[in-house]
């Protein structure tokens, strides 16, 4: 696995038969992040995700892979899941949208890119935390001390 300088990785899982279509939207996603992984096989995708240690994953899945969301939802590396349905012929199971990590169902690349850009900013701001107590404190602090 290559070293990623960002704290997050964009992963696309799409078993679309149109390689031209996939190449087009993957080139749009490449501009969003330095680290982009593309998978056609869901098992290979899950294997990769579970081997990621220090990164947040933004996972784009095509609508035909939504049945795997309940299985992968618990994986702590996954920050957000985006359902991408470019042809919009297949409906999305509305129950899937109830999962907190699922950011929505997107029918256009522009909608999806806009949401990912927003989430990327949120992740970056959430990673900037401030400690007001020393890291190696023992005991507890009280307002009366």
| pLDDT value, residue 93 | 65
- 12 in Cβ contact with 39 (< 8 Å): yes
Position 143 in a domain? no
Position 59 in a domain? yes
Position 138 in a domain? no
Position 34 in a domain? yes
Position 133 in a domain? no
Report the mean per-residue pLDDT for the chain. Answer: 78
pLDDT, tens digit only, all 145 positions of the chain: 444 445 789 999 987 656 666 777 777 787 777 788 999 899 999 999 999 988 889 999 988 898 899 999 999 999 999 998 876 655 556 777 788 899 988 988 899 999 999 988 887 777 655 445 554 444 444 445 4
CATH number at residue 90: 3.40.50.2300
| pLDDT value, residue 87 | 66
| pLDDT value, residue 18 | 61
DSSP state of 97: G
| pLDDT value, residue 116 | 92
Position 44 in a domain? yes
| pLDDT value, residue 137 | 41
Residue 95 main-chain phi, psi, to 5 deg: -65, -30
Q: Which residues contact 132 (CB under 8 A, 6 or more apart)?
A: none
> Count of domains in the chain?
1
Q: Which residues contact 110 (CB under 8 A, 6 or more apart)?
A: none
| pLDDT value, residue 50 | 94
- pTM exceeds cut of 0.85: no
Domain residues for 36? 8-127
- 50-91 residue pLDDT tens: 999 888 899 999 888 988 999 999 999 999 999 988 766 555
């Amino acid at each position: 696995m290559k070293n990623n300088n960002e704290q997050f990785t964009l992963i696309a899982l799409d078993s679309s038969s149109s390689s031209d279509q996939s190449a087009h939207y993957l080139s749009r996603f490449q501009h969003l992040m330095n680290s982009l992984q593309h998978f056609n096989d869901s098992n290979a995708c899950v294997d990769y995700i579970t081997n990621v240690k220090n990164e947040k994953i933004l996972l784009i899945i095509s609508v035909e892979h939504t049945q795997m969301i309940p299985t992968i939802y618990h994986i702590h590396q996954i920050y957000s899941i985006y359902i991408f349905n470019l042809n919009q012929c297949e409906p999305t199971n509305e129950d899937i949208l109830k999962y907190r990590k699922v950011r929505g169902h997107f029918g256009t690349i522009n909608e999806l890119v806009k949401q990912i850009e927003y989430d990327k900013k949120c992740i970056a701001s959430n990673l900037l935390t401030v400690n007001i107590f020393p890291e190696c404190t023992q005991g507890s602090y009280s307002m009366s001390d």
